[in-house]
Each structure stands twice: as C-alpha cells, then as structure tokens.
Chain A
Amino acid sequence: MKHHASDAHTLAAAYALGALEPDERREFTAHLRECQACRQEAAEFEATAARLAAAVSQAPPPALKPAVMSAIDGVRQLPPRVATTAPSRLSGVLRRRAVPLALAACVAAAALGGVAVWQTQQNREAEQRAGRAEQRLDAISSILAAPDARTVHGRTSNGALTTVVSSPARDRAVFTAAGLPAPAGGTTYQLWLDHDGTMRPAGFVDGDGTVLIEGGTAGAEAVGLTVEPDGGSPRPTTAPLLLMPLTA
C-alpha cells in the first residue's frame, strides 16, 4: 500500500490531530521516516495542534502536583532512544505500543532494576543489553495492559508477597515479588509453570522485582517457585515455596 505524495500530505493533518486509526497511524509513522517534507509538515501541524491544546488550559487542582511528584519516585526513566541502523521489526512494533498505564510504568521500572547500565551506552554490548531490556519492558507492559489481564496474589512460605498478572490472549505472564529474602549462596529462585502436574522451567528470580515468566501460559494451571542450585534445574529439586493457580 503506497500513498502518493498528496495522499500522505493530507494524512499529516489527520495524524497531527490524532485522527488516524491505529494501523493508519503506524503506517504513516513509518512513512514519516522516509519523507523529510512530510516530517516537516507533520511537525508544524503538531505544533499548531499544541496551540489548540494550550488554548483550553485549565488550572490543575492543587492535589494533583503532590500526587504526581510522589508517584515519580517509583518510576524509573527510560533511556534515550538508541539509533540502531536496522531496528528489529519486532522491537519496533513493541515499542510503538507506548503502553499508557502508570502501572505499567511502575512495574516496568521495577523490572529494569539492576539490568541496565545506560551510562555505558557507547559500549555496544550495553546497547544490546539495553535493547533487550527495553523489549522485555515492552513485553511486560503489553501484558499488564492487555484487556484480558488477570491478577492473582500469593505468599511464599518464606514470607514474600507475590503477584502474577497473566494474559491468555498474549499467552504470557508476569511475576512480581516483594520481600523475597536473598537466596542462600550457590542457590537461586526458579520459576515453574505447572502443566498438569509437570513442572516446566519458567525462568529465574534473583530478588524483589518483576520478571517476565518464560514460556507460554496456555495450558498451565499454576506458577511455582522453588530454590534451586545456581544455574537452575530441569525439574524442581526442593519443595515449592509457592504455588499460585493462574486462574483466579
């Protein structure tokens, strides 16, 4: 589907006014990358639209500011976008989701903990890591924002509070723990998906925070957590600290 110039130009106005359907917006955004003139025009139109916004400004209620200021304490900032020569299509798609929910921001922030070293971005490896972390964030956000997302809570036998948010439509789930004691030396926490009594490895947790559970959740009845020797085990070797049914 190729727009000729005039068509693309008329879309720049609808784009700036937020009047495109999501897939049209996506398409037009892609088109913008290749069309300098359209970029220029879209930028001017967006600036014009912002004047329309400014014209209806309202004084915010006094309580809003303290609420925002205290909320950002828990929100980690995104790193600057790294210009990659060939951004993978998948990450592009995920990124564009721009998941709106504040809750996504919060959990995403937690998920970033300890992963990313943005300061050393010049370093190629760090860049890749950052890219992966971002993809993971996007994946987590997309689950939290899924219309069919459901939440179950649990408590591990060693006292941590846990939450699992799963989305059947996305076939994925996210695990969050708070108050999880550091695992004893030489051991790690391992997640499991319970398929009809068979425990399948589903990734690791090294402490408080949020992780994407590895593997599809379709057909899984529960999420489990055990302590395993470093590196993990193909099947649980200790009694589960937690077994949370996936369906509330």
Chain B
Amino acid sequence: MDDSPPDGRAWPRLRLLTSGAAAQVNRPLPSGAGAPAPAPAPACASASSSAGDGGLAEVMEKVAHGDKQAFSVLYDALAPLVLGIVVRVVRDRAQGEEVAQEVMIELWRQAARYRPEAGSVTTWAGTIAHRRAVDRVRSAQASADREQAQASREHHTAFDEVAEQVETRLESEQVRRCLSGLTELQRQAVTLAYYRGLTYREVAETLRTPLPTIKTRMRDGLIRLRDCMGVTT
C-alpha cells in the first residue's frame, strides 16, 4: 500500500486494478490481437490434456497454503485458458484482460475451496472464468435491456459467421473435430451459450427454436462432445 498522499488523493485503497496496470495490459499485442498464430502456443499445454491436470492438483494445494511461487506456476498453466474464454465471451480484448486479471486473483482467493473430488483444476478455473465473463456481459446487457431484442436479432444474422469463426480459430484439433460431429442445431446451441454467453432462452430466441428443444439439443450436444473428447471425472 502506498501511503504517500501527493495531493490528498491517496484514499484508502479499495481497488486492486491500478490504472497503471490497466494501461499496461491495454497495449496492443505484438502478435496482433485476436489473430492467434497457427502454431499451437506452448503456453496452452493445458488445452491438450485434462489428464495432465494431475500435477496441478498438487500445485493447488500449495497455493491454498499461500505459496506464491506455486501460484506463479498455476498462473502459467491457467492464464491462457482464462484469458481465452473470457475474451471470447466478453468480445473485447481490453475488457477481457481486466476480467481475466480479476479471475486470476479470484483463483488465488478461493484456492482453499477447490475440491479435487468435484473436478480438475482446469475445469474449476474454466468454470469460474466463464461465469465471471458471463456476469460481465449480462450486467452490461441489463443496463441496456431494451437493446436486448435488437441484439438478439443481430445474433440471428451473425451466428453463422460466429460459428465459423469459432471453428476456424479453435486451436485444439480434437475440439474442432468433436464439434463437427454434432448436428447443426446441437453445435449452435452449445457454442452460442458457451462462447457467446447467451442464456438458453436467448439461444432459443436466436435460433427461433422452442425452449424444450434447445434444452435437449444442448444436452445431447454436450453428451456427444463429452464422449468424443473422452471426458471423465
């Protein structure tokens, strides 16, 4: 905590995100924002195997005891996934980085609440990151509630494009292959919900499909993905 009030403005700090840090992360990326290099980034190792998560569970235990070095390891393993999904949902690089930072801090804060029997560390982090991103999007939406209907119509025209983008930009070969194994409606239901952060009602509206059908397609789609990816818990 800095305790030098230069012009009487250094009030007790309630914020962690200093404007300085925000300015730093807002710098354009050398690689070009949003255009991932075709070569699989080594930083994304966690993408390929959730089984390789075994090591992370031990790291988590240390993090839960306040070990910052262990957290540094955890950061390296999880930050690409966290940033990736948050930016995907929030659809704004700068805001996404801000949310990703909050999520990483949240992982530190909640480390002792991670329960290995409930799922892998990667799943835990992915769930927290996605939820946080969705919260951000929905609270932004709530403030412009009337625009919702309009946005929804826009989704309708945009979703083909989005689905395409998602597929071509997926870095994981397996996920791409598994997604292509779904029916059109299943894939749209799953990706609009997860990558766009829509509720299943919004998905139903967007796809002009009855609610029960959407619920079923989501479930069938996830079951197929789960089996295709060989997900076990």
Contacts and interface: CB of A to CB of B under 8 A. Distances in A.
A65 interface: yes
A56 B171 contact: yes
A211 B81 CA distance: 36
A60 B15 contact: no
A135 interface: no
Interface in A1-28: 9-14, 16-21
Contact of B17 (A13, A43, A71, A162): A71
Nearest to A68: B104
A227 B60 CA distance: 45
Interface string B215-233: 1101101110110010111
Given A45-B226, A71-B101, A107-B14, A64 B83 contact: yes
Interface of B: 1, 3, 5, 8, 10-17, 21, 24-25, 27, 29, 31, 36, 41, 43-44, 46-48, 50, 64, 66, 68, 71-72, 75-76, 79-81, 83-85, 87-88, 97, 100-102, 104-106, 108-113, 118-120, 122-123, 125-127, 129-132, 134-136, 166, 169-172, 174-176, 190-191, 193-195, 197-201, 203, 212, 215-216, 218-219, 221-223, 225-226, 229, 231-233
Interface residues of A, number: 70
A178 interface: yes
* Most chain A beta-carbon contacts within 10 A, residue among B16, B43, B197, B215: B16
A72 B36 CA distance: 29
A48 B222 contact: yes
A161 interface: yes
A109 B97 CA distance: 23
A19 B200 contact: yes
Contacts of A37: none
A162 B12 contact: yes
Contact of A103 (B10, B14, B226): B14
Nearest to B143: A147
| Consensus secondary structure, chain B interface | helix
Given A55-B176, A69-B72, A178-B12, A18 B134 contact: yes
A55 B41 contact: no
A105 B41 contact: no
A215 B140 CA distance: 31
A47 B109 CA distance: 22
A48 B226 contact: yes
A44 B232 CA distance: 6
B193 A19 contact: yes
A12 B134 CA distance: 17
A163 B219 contact: no
Nearest to B89: A18
